[in-house]
Amino acid sequence: MTPMIDVVFLLLIFFVCTASFQPVEALLPGDLLISGAGGAGVPQEEQPPLERVVIRAEQSGAGVAWTVNESPCPTDAALRALLGQLAGIDSTLPVVIDPDRKVELGRVIDGFDAARSAGFVDVKFAASVE
């Protein structure tokens, strides 16, 4: 009787050691187009993922014209609002500030401060080739 109990315990230890304790996958993600009326819906344009945020500053008349990823920002408040939205999506994106040579340093620092206050951590300046 003792050898049979030993064999049962050895088998129990073997099966416990070789068992896989991974949870069963219950969700299979898929991209399905869901339309409200059951008809063929128009797929929305898929936007490419952001790799970085580029802030351009150009001197225009008495002020500075800001552009963030080709989107114009006429005022500093619009610049801060757009940067806040982008930081809400992903604040780990690198930010590159590319000022024109005619823009005053104080205004470039305002753009830097706007990016930092929006929540971006990796803020850099673009180097000119010249």
pLDDT tens, residue by residue, 31-74: 555 555 555 555 566 656 678 899 999 988 878 899 998 889 88
Please indicate, yes or no, if residue 41 is contained in any of the structural domains. no
Helices (H), ranges, the chain: 2-18, 76-89, 105-118
The total number of structural domains in the chain stands at 1
Please name the residues in contact with 110: beta carbons below 8 A apart, sequence gap of 6 or more: 76
Please indicate, yes or no, if residue 53 is contained in any of the structural domains. no
Our measurement of the distance from residue 63's CA atom to the centroid of its chain's CA atoms, rounded to an integer in Å, reads 31
Per-residue confidence (pLDDT) for residue 43, from 0 to 100: 58
Q: Are 91 and 121 in contact (CB under 8 A)?
A: yes
Q: Is the pLDDT of residue 27 over 60?
A: no
Please indicate, yes or no, if residue 84 is contained in any of the structural domains. yes
Per-residue confidence (pLDDT) for residue 80, from 0 to 100: 93
Taking only Cα atoms into account, the Rg of the chain, rounded to an integer number of angstroms, comes to: 28
DSSP state of 57: E
Please indicate, yes or no, if residue 105 is contained in any of the structural domains. yes
Please indicate, yes or no, if residue 91 is contained in any of the structural domains. yes
Please indicate, yes or no, if residue 113 is contained in any of the structural domains. yes
Full residue range of the structural domain in which residue 73 is found: 59-125
d(CA 31, CA 79): 34
Q: Is the pLDDT of residue 29 over 80?
A: no
